[in-house]
Homo-oligomer: A and B are copies of this chain.
Amino acid sequence: MSEPEKAQLSSSQLRVQANVIRGLAIDAVEEAGHGHPGAAMGMADIAAVLYAKHLRFDGANPDWHDRDRVILSNGHASIFLYSLLYLTGVPGVELDDIKAFRKAGSKTPGHPEVGHTPGVEVTTGPLGQGLGMSVGMALAERRLRDEFGADVCSHRTWVFAGDGCLMEGVGQEAASLAGHLRLGHLNLLYDMNSITIDGSTDLSFSEDTAAKFKALGWHVVTACGHTHDEIDDALAAAIAETTRPSIILFRTTIGFGAPTKSGTSGVHGSKLGSDEAAAAKAALNLPAAKFEIPDDHLATWRAFGARNDAEHNAWRNRLAQLPKDTAASYDRRMSGQLPDDLGQLAQATKADWAQSKPKVATRKASQMALQVLTTHLPEMIGGSADLSGSNLTKTTAMSTVFSAEGSGRYVNYGVREFAMAAAMNGIAMHGGFVPYGGTFLVFSDYMRNAIRLSALMQARVIYIMTHDSIGLGEDGPTHQPVEHLASLRAIPGLHVFRPADAIETLEAYETALTLNAPSLFALSRQGTPALRTEATAENMVSRGGYLIRKPSGKRDLTILATGTEVAIALDAAEQLARESFEVAVVSLACWSLFDAQPKAYRDEILGDAPRMAVEAASSFGWTRYVESDDHVISVDRFGASASAETLYEEFGITAQAISDKCLRLLNNHRAQKSVQCQTGELA
């Protein structure tokens, strides 16, 4: 379809195309027996106009780097997105996939999952986070545009969102941040259907959304979501506005077309039922047979999908005209490849530090590592949730701030931890960047579900969580993490690092960068000695755990520790050595990586001598490595407002206390062993 042709699609033609989506939504939910047809039916007209006239995309090539991003923040409407992917000809999304909606093993799960379904940009469903990720997408786009030029990068981020996304704190933080940063290529399509799960939004929501978004610095447009000219004008206005993010408040009817259920919460999360489905399809002038789409309707949708063929080609040509170095850099960045010499760089830095032996807090070691890495890796984009000076997330390479005026490399996210995490997910999934961001470890709580999404998407995001224990000191129990290491280690697919010194911190960064998965660093406020003073060729932290102290003879005891407690454990080991015990100390910097090592390696490291674990955090989970909770020196209650030294003393995390407890363990074990030898039986 040529530009003049598509511009001339009449309102009734667009309605026909929209109704195809409605038909698929009705049928797929009916076939599954469950799902969310209402929002898909409500938003179908918007999609028809957007895809027919405005969206920059290429159905046959959904990975086109310079495509507009479409994010479905109200992810429960997944059938809406799946229908669009199928209709516009995304390879690998077929009608059979629509028919298998919400079934085991299908490409069309209950909520959109990136990596699982071609053309899905991010995993959405937990409300508000799609909006947060869209802010990250728009931020990444603007930065990339400034780096490589608008010829190569100039696309928009369109985010569909419902009332729920706007009510959620993360959505509100994200909206505030987007307004502040004046992300002009971000367009929020608000499906204002006035219905939530519990009924009318009046039950719980009475904001003047237009006034609110104006107050946040947004460009605000309103339109009827079922009047195609209005939709068209609104989308055009959003595109024309390039200095502020745009929100279009689309008045829509949830379940549009369902004769008795439209406009009610009954159509939000349930199938229509066969009678209502049949009546709706008749009212929408759709074929009665399930999943039947008239050829010409499908052909028109496919034409929408092919609408930007010429523009895609023109883009390829512009890309080909880039200077060779720039093109190579762009390709490397978009492929997510690291520079070839990263290993050398890390090794050289390690050699430096093996000499200088920096005795610093690991948050400071993090800054030192970042100083080297951010200088060398232009894809790193940093930030903090208003704790830059505490998290030490700034480096000289990060001196350009991302602001309303310019797209620097450092983002002042404000006191918005959750939006920061969601935005970082969006930045990572956009491509071209490795985002990192800081706050206190205790506030990982605030962004926890976004960290979970990082893990679910295997997004390469680095969370820099400082002040990682009672070592935080006088700010007291509200700010001292206790259960956080355990709770984060429990998230599948997240790598939690707690490095013991500067070199371990560097190794953790090198590992995190190569993982293609999210990493979370727990870093100390307080100083700790340099423990690793040789520039080992091997990245020891990449193993997850290793012997940082090897006994000379047969092991009597193994002490497992992480972070700043490794130094204390080493001191305890020295005390025990003076009493002729052979003590190994394991730095267990990353449990998930250690658990992934071959059994032989793990057995060698853990040894078969009795074990004691030491960590200034909850003992929860440590029994994976030690016999019982009695073999963990830990912090199993909330902390207190006092100096780090006082608290470590109070909780028995000193070399003396560890050594004393280990001695008792060794004596018990000796006594036990002697009983066993006598009776010849244990169980």
Interface residues of A (CB under 8 A from B): 32, 34-35, 75-76, 102-106, 109-111, 113, 123-128, 163-164, 167-173, 176-177, 179-180, 196-198, 203-209, 211-212, 214-217, 384, 386-390, 401, 403-404, 412-419, 442-443, 445-446, 448-449, 452-453, 455-456, 474-479, 482-483, 486-493, 608, 610, 618, 620-621, 623-624, 628-629, 636-638, 640-643, 646-647, 650, 669, 673, 676-677, 680-683
> Do B683 and A105 touch (CB < 8 A)?
no
A-B contact pairs, 13 of them (CB 8 A): A32-B474, A102-B641, A109-B641, A126-B445, A167-B173, A197-B386, A208-B216, A456-B477, A483-B491, A487-B491, A623-B623, A676-B680, A680-B680
> Do A483 and B490 touch (CB < 8 A)?
yes
User: A171 — which chain B residues lie within 8 A by C-beta?
Assistant: 169
> Do B487 and A483 touch (CB < 8 A)?
yes
A165 CB, nearest partner CB in chain B, Å: 8
Answer whether A624 and B618 are a contact pair too, CB < 8 Å, given A126-B442, A205-B414: no
**Chain B: CB-nearest residue to A204:** B414
Residue from B211, B456, B482 within 8 A of A215 (CB atoms): B211
A234 CB, nearest partner CB in chain B, Å: 20
**Chain B: CB-nearest residue to A492:** B637
User: A416 — which chain B residues lie within 8 A by C-beta?
Assistant: 167-169, 204
Residue from B128, B208, B386, B474 within 8 A of A102 (CB atoms): B474
> Do A173 and B169 touch (CB < 8 A)?
yes
Bound complex: CA of A401 vs CA of B650, how far in Å? 49
**Chain B: CB-nearest residue to A212:** B215
> Do B476 and A110 touch (CB < 8 A)?
yes
Q: Beyond the given A620-B624, A676-B682, could you list 17 further A-B residue pairs with CB under 8 A, ordered by the A residue number?
A: A104-B646, A109-B641, A111-B476, A111-B478, A126-B478, A128-B415, A168-B415, A169-B171, A169-B446, A197-B387, A203-B403, A445-B448, A483-B491, A487-B488, A608-B683, A669-B683, A677-B680
User: A177 — which chain B residues lie within 8 A by C-beta?
Assistant: 204
Bound complex: CA of A637 vs CA of B133, how far in Å? 23
**Chain B: CB-nearest residue to A622:** B623
Bound complex: CA of A9 vs CA of B673, how far in Å? 80
User: A164 — which chain B residues lie within 8 A by C-beta?
Assistant: 386, 415
Closest 7 CB pairs of A and B: A169-B169, A204-B414, A109-B641, A104-B642, A487-B487, A125-B478, A445-B449
User: A673 — which chain B residues lie within 8 A by C-beta?
Assistant: 681, 683
Bound complex: CA of A456 vs CA of B480, how far in Å? 12
> Do A110 and B172 touch (CB < 8 A)?
no
**Chain B: CB-nearest residue to A105:** B642
A319 CB, nearest partner CB in chain B, Å: 34
User: A620 — which chain B residues lie within 8 A by C-beta?
Assistant: 486, 489-490, 620-621, 624
> Do B618 and A492 touch (CB < 8 A)?
yes
Residue from the set A124, A125, A217, A629 with the largest chain B CB neighbour count within 10 Å: A125
> Do B621 and A110 touch (CB < 8 A)?
no
Bound complex: CA of A618 vs CA of B60, how far in Å? 40
Bound complex: CA of A623 vs CA of B479, how far in Å? 29
Residue from the set A127, A482, A621, A673 with the largest chain B CB neighbour count within 10 Å: A621
Bound complex: CA of A449 vs CA of B445, how far in Å? 5
Residue from B105, B404, B618, B624 within 8 A of A490 (CB atoms): B618
A409 CB, nearest partner CB in chain B, Å: 15
> Do A203 and B104 touch (CB < 8 A)?
no
User: A404 — which chain B residues lie within 8 A by C-beta?
Assistant: 206
> Do B172 and A173 touch (CB < 8 A)?
yes
Residue from the set A127, A171, A452 with the largest chain B CB neighbour count within 10 Å: A452
**Chain B: CB-nearest residue to A452:** B445
> Do B111 and A641 touch (CB < 8 A)?
yes
A94 CB, nearest partner CB in chain B, Å: 18
Bound complex: CA of A214 vs CA of B449, how far in Å? 30
A126 CB, nearest partner CB in chain B, Å: 6
